Structure 1
Amino acid sequence: MNKWLLIVLAVLVACVLLPNTPLHREIPTRDSGVFLYIGQQILDGKIPYRDVWDHKPPVIHYINALGLFIGNGSVWGVSFLEFGALYLAGVLSYIFTKRALGVAPAIFGVIACFVTLTLLLGGGNFTEEFALPCQFAALYLFWQSEQRGDYSWRGFLIGVTAAISFLLKQNLIGVHLSIVTFLLLTRASQRRWHDLFFHLTTIFLGAASIILIVGLYFACQGALNNLWNNVFEYNFAYFITTIGNRTTALVAGLVLTSLSGMSILALVTWFTGVIYMLRDKSEIKDKKALLLLSLVNLPIEFFLVAVSGKAYSHYYIAWLPVFTILTSFFAYVFTVRFYPRLRTASKMARVMSVYLWVFVFMGMIYWPGTTLIKQMVTLSNARQATGHQMAEYIKRSTNASDYVLIWGAETSVNFVACRQSPTRFVYQYPLYTRGYQSVALIKEFLDSIATNKPVLVVDTSPSNELIPPLDPIAREKWSLASENYGILPAMDSVFDYIASNYRLKEKVGQEQWPVYVYVEE
């Protein structure tokens, strides 16, 4: 890979990440705050799920632990790992698409990928980011395996990348499911049963080896049941939603990624690719395996992202690998089919072609560029500013050994203030999630705060409509605007305990978070 391309890619990745670094964020976002807090707990000897509750699989927590170790407790260490992951994804994407489709399509696809990422990376430190190298590596290994007609160790590595992606987030294995589907379709149609068995076995062994190692580790720590409960049982309940919500999530993702034009180009190429496959076009004859894979992969990715019914922007990062292939194919077909004709075309036609590509490029970067500038200028919203103010308040008002309960989902405050939560429920969504919540969980939560006696309880409900206020008058006026969450009667014991043992001291920040202080007996 040309050194200048490596430098340009590094600059591109840095620009995408810059608004999400500590340089521009006073406090991490909600998801990032949870990962960072658990990462710090790991460095302190704690085990995820057993000692700290979260519903994400374990890899993201250990990535954050590694980043904090590298940064000596600073979030910059995690930002460094983010840069490395995205840079590696870009390199793999370019090398893979260059060898498969050529230089120009590869450059076009990589630029489209990272320009679109700007629209999706609100806050950073997401599981989807760290899965990108695994997804592009799997695509590269697949392409090499098909070129050589041999999976063997490459199939094993595809399985390894599948396991890592799955252990980052369960729905990030769309690329790998597509590879398995491709093998089933092609090998079965050709009656190559021996090859099918061997290829699938190597992939399975690669995935199983990683899953087994991780499972044994948590079993030895007495946390395997907790892992299953948090990561699988909770998410089964979390993903219960309507077809309407899933459709809305799908459409929202297509609209968001259309701001760079990437979803539009991908869909056009997908439909065109179906026609090309049916007509057996000679231009793509040696690219059929890759094209078929992308045709299979796109609907799988759409389903896996939309299944939760949630329209968080970072969810759509999972679409970028298949979008990159399809947009690269778009550029490839142009260079193969239309570019040669321009050599003999009139001067006006060549000029119009140049203007067309300039228009496409400018349209591709306009909204992402505007988004990037806004992110650079707007340092934080009111909730994040209040979180930063609260973290500073806690540092001044408590000792390093004191427990502080953040009532809500702002775990980043615990992390920034360097104060431990008195309970493993560092955010309380599991106590409210229908299909998962239980009296036993509420009792565990109450017992932990009664035992550890946090010196402060910070009510973040003014910034989160899913969280019931601690103030009884405010709670009477509050209504839960979500079909996925509910309040069990057993929560009254928690409200009563806090009301009996804590008094309102003051309200802090733009969002006016109430701070309750423990009343000595």
Structure 2
Amino acid sequence: MLKKLRSLRYEDLDWKMVLFVLVVVSVFIRFPFFFRDYVDRDESTFILMGQSWANGHLPYTQLWDLKPPITFLYFAIIIKLFGKSFFAIRFFGAVMVALTSLFTYGITKKITGKKIALWIAIFCVFFQSLFGSLQGVMSEHICTLFFVAGIYFLIYKRQWQWFLLAGLLFGLSIMSKLNMAYPVLTLGIYFLSEGFAKEKLSKSIGNLFFMGIGIALTVALTALPYYLQDNLNVWWESIFEAPLAYTGGKYHSPVKTLPFVFIVLGLLITGFIYKIIDFKSRESQLLTVVIIGILLSFMQTGKVNGHYLIQLYPFVLIPAGVALGKLPKLKKSYKPLIIALLLLVPMESYLEYVNIVSNKIKKGSFYNGEGIDVPKYIVKNGLDTQNIFFTEYHIGYWVLGEAPPTKAATHPSNITRDELFPDMHNPRRTGIEELKYIMEVIQPKTLVARKGKEIFDKKLEDYNTYIDAYLDKHYKLEATVGRGLIYQRL
């Protein structure tokens, strides 16, 4: 394969070769992070939820988090097949990124040539893997794979059966991250308007009907296990009602997202005005509709976190790449500079390669981070693991084979989200009540916090005042492991 690639022209590329290149690039960039305890706290929560499902507990019954169940299913399947393996979770995450980029390549190839399509796909790997906490496996990685695949089929095929398949994929996407319902809705409006414009309304309605059937079938399948356990209300409240309550919280405002939304839409409009992007093409229209839908979802959520952008990257990279491809060719003298810049892009990966080698030399293991080192210390020194509370590094529950003290503590920040408690089916109704229950009734023998960081968000003064005073009175600092603080109850 490598020999073929060295002598290959862009015109000779086939799907297998492109996939091979994308997998190699994805694994190379993400490999050193296979050994990190966690990259983003959300990923740690997904792992805990997946482990609980692998143990036979449906999501939201034993542990609880805000995401739909397909996100947890990915982790549950990996854990069931490979056991407790950071490597397996992150490796298949890298493959997932490569597959998303492969479908992005396919969409781009419909619009422009293979050369530009390949480079857009490679940059799709970069943008899904670098520049923030994207090296773990996030719900956005999962939902974006399904969504990009669905768009690929809609661009190439127009028969009802392909709309049904696209609907199934969109359903999986929505059941991985609920905000993907917005671009699905804008797509539906687009297909209806297309039917009006081309006087093929009945066909458009028929295709949308089958797409809707596919979405409904996927959603229904996620509800079936809860229905069989007579627990459908848990499914409904956790998947649909809780996210609405979350986005209505006091720290979420659509106004905060407007600068970002205006920048993206401004660049798109500029491209259309100057005819850098061909707005008349169906492919460009579909991409624009999807981008608008995703931006609307960001506005509804009221914030734009770095990992949210994973959903947007494939769809903005395509028009950006097509536009750049229309620029005059670079002089040969600039090519070494461009190559050097490309080699510098994965700087985060190079630094992490150094980190894992350094950790191997110092500690004898490539696996690193307080989420691994703190549990090692706890076990080595015979501290209590069964009654333990991780206010930070909560991947430690998984490493130790333990569960969080309460359902609400699955993700430590959920304790402070009063708006979620009615949909959690949690006995306590407020965050302060939950925290007091954990500290005063469960009374964790071991508590883990992070050095130099408030236990809860700085805005939550009442939570921090309470727990700081309680720790001073009832706990002693047993050890400091890296930035991990290990407290023992007096």
Whether the TM-score (by the shorter chain) exceeds 0.5 is yes
Shorter-chain TM range is 0.7 to 0.9
Which secondary structure state, in structure 2, belongs to the residue aligned with residue 402 of structure 1?
coil
In the alignment, which residue of structure 1 is the partner of 2:351? 374
In the alignment, which residue of structure 2 is the partner of 1:225? 233
Distance change in 2, residues 1:142/1:76 (3 Å): same
Residue 203 of structure 1, CA deviation = 0.9
In the alignment, which residue of structure 2 is the partner of 1:90? 101
In the alignment, which residue of structure 1 is the partner of 2:380? 396
Residue 316 of structure 1, CA deviation = 0.9
Alpha-carbon displacement from aligned partner over 1:242-292 (angstroms, at most 9, x marks no partner): 3443246658xx7xxxxxxxx8xx975652235549xxx9xx59x710011
Q: 2:187 aligns with which of 143, 166, 179?
A: 179
Once residues 464 and 224 of structure 1 are traced to their aligned partners in structure 2, the CA distance between those partners, rounded to angstroms, is 39
Counterpart check, 1:456 vs 2:468: no
In the alignment, which residue of structure 2 is the partner of 1:74? 85
Residue 68 of structure 1, CA deviation = 1.4
Which secondary structure state, in structure 2, belongs to the residue aligned with residue 516 of structure 1?
strand
Give the superposed CA RMSD.
3.7
Residue 158 of structure 1, CA deviation = 1.3
Q: 1:137 aligns with which of 149, 168, 173?
A: 149
Distance change in 2, residues 1:268/1:428 (3 Å): closer
In the alignment, which residue of structure 1 is the partner of 2:291? 298
Distance change in 2, residues 1:394/1:42 (3 Å): farther
In the alignment, which residue of structure 1 is the partner of 2:389? 405
Counterpart check, 1:206 vs 2:211: no
Q: Is the 8 A contact 1:70 1:77 kept in 2?
A: no
Once residues 211 and 243 of structure 1 are traced to their aligned partners in structure 2, the CA distance between those partners, rounded to angstroms, is 27
In the alignment, which residue of structure 2 is the partner of 1:431? 415
In the alignment, which residue of structure 1 is the partner of 2:364? none
In the alignment, which residue of structure 2 is the partner of 1:475? none
In the alignment, which residue of structure 2 is the partner of 1:312? 305
Counterpart check, 1:37 vs 2:52: no
Q: Is the 8 A contact 1:155 1:202 kept in 2?
A: yes
Residue 481 of structure 1, CA deviation = 3.1
Which secondary structure state, in structure 1, belongs to the residue aligned with residue 301 of structure 2?
coil
Once residues 143 and 15 of structure 1 are traced to their aligned partners in structure 2, the CA distance between those partners, rounded to angstroms, is 31
In the alignment, which residue of structure 2 is the partner of 1:259? none
Which secondary structure state, in structure 2, belongs to the residue aligned with residue 125 of structure 1?
coil
Once residues 48 and 174 of structure 2 are traced to their aligned partners in structure 1, the CA distance between those partners, rounded to angstroms, is 22
Residue 301 of structure 1, CA deviation = 2.3
Once residues 413 and 306 of structure 1 are traced to their aligned partners in structure 2, the CA distance between those partners, rounded to angstroms, is 34
Larger Rg: 1
Once residues 461 and 216 of structure 2 are traced to their aligned partners in structure 1, the CA distance between those partners, rounded to angstroms, is 37
Distance change in 2, residues 1:432/1:3 (3 Å): closer
Once residues 272 and 399 of structure 1 are traced to their aligned partners in structure 2, the CA distance between those partners, rounded to angstroms, is 61
Q: Is the 8 A contact 1:234 1:430 kept in 2?
A: no
In the alignment, which residue of structure 2 is the partner of 1:128? 140
Q: 1:21 aligns with which of 34, 37, 56?
A: 34
Once residues 211 and 254 of structure 2 are traced to their aligned partners in structure 1, the CA distance between those partners, rounded to angstroms, is 33
Alpha-carbon displacement from aligned partner over 1:83-115 (angstroms, at most 9, x marks no partner): 331222222222332244221221121122122
Once residues 259 and 396 of structure 2 are traced to their aligned partners in structure 1, the CA distance between those partners, rounded to angstroms, is 32
Paired letter, 1:94: Y
Q: 2:164 aligns with which of 147, 153, 156?
A: 156
Number of equivalences = 457
Which secondary structure state, in structure 2, belongs to the residue aligned with residue 422 of structure 1?
coil
Counterpart check, 1:9 vs 2:22: yes
Distance change in 2, residues 1:412/1:321 (3 Å): same
In the alignment, which residue of structure 2 is the partner of 1:271? 270
Q: Is the 8 A contact 2:163 2:210 kept in 1?
A: yes
Distance change in 2, residues 1:458/1:179 (3 Å): same
Which secondary structure state, in structure 1, belongs to the residue aligned with residue 419 of structure 2?
coil
Paired letter, 1:230: S
In the alignment, which residue of structure 1 is the partner of 2:319? 326
Q: Is the 8 A contact 1:249 1:310 kept in 2?
A: no
Q: Is the 8 A contact 1:301 1:318 kept in 2?
A: yes
Distance change in 2, residues 1:244/1:194 (3 Å): closer
Q: Which runs of 5+ in 1 are unaligned?
A: 255-262, 339-349, 468-479
Once residues 452 and 60 of structure 2 are traced to their aligned partners in structure 1, the CA distance between those partners, rounded to angstroms, is 26
Q: Is the 8 A contact 1:434 1:486 kept in 2?
A: no
Q: Is the 8 A contact 2:478 2:488 kept in 1?
A: yes
Q: Is the 8 A contact 1:504 1:515 kept in 2?
A: yes
Distance change in 2, residues 1:237/1:457 (3 Å): farther
Alpha-carbon displacement from aligned partner over 1:62-99 (angstroms, at most 9, x marks no partner): 11111112222212221232133122222222233224
Q: Which runs of 5+ in 2 are unaligned?
A: 1-13, 360-367, 423-427
Residue 405 of structure 1, CA deviation = 2.1
Q: Is the 8 A contact 2:192 2:201 kept in 1?
A: no
In the alignment, which residue of structure 2 is the partner of 1:343? none
Once residues 168 and 495 of structure 1 are traced to their aligned partners in structure 2, the CA distance between those partners, rounded to angstroms, is 36
Q: Is the 8 A contact 1:120 1:317 kept in 2?
A: no
Once residues 420 and 454 of structure 1 are traced to their aligned partners in structure 2, the CA distance between those partners, rounded to angstroms, is 15
Distance change in 2, residues 1:143/1:320 (3 Å): same
Distance change in 2, residues 1:172/1:113 (3 Å): same
Paired letter, 1:377: V
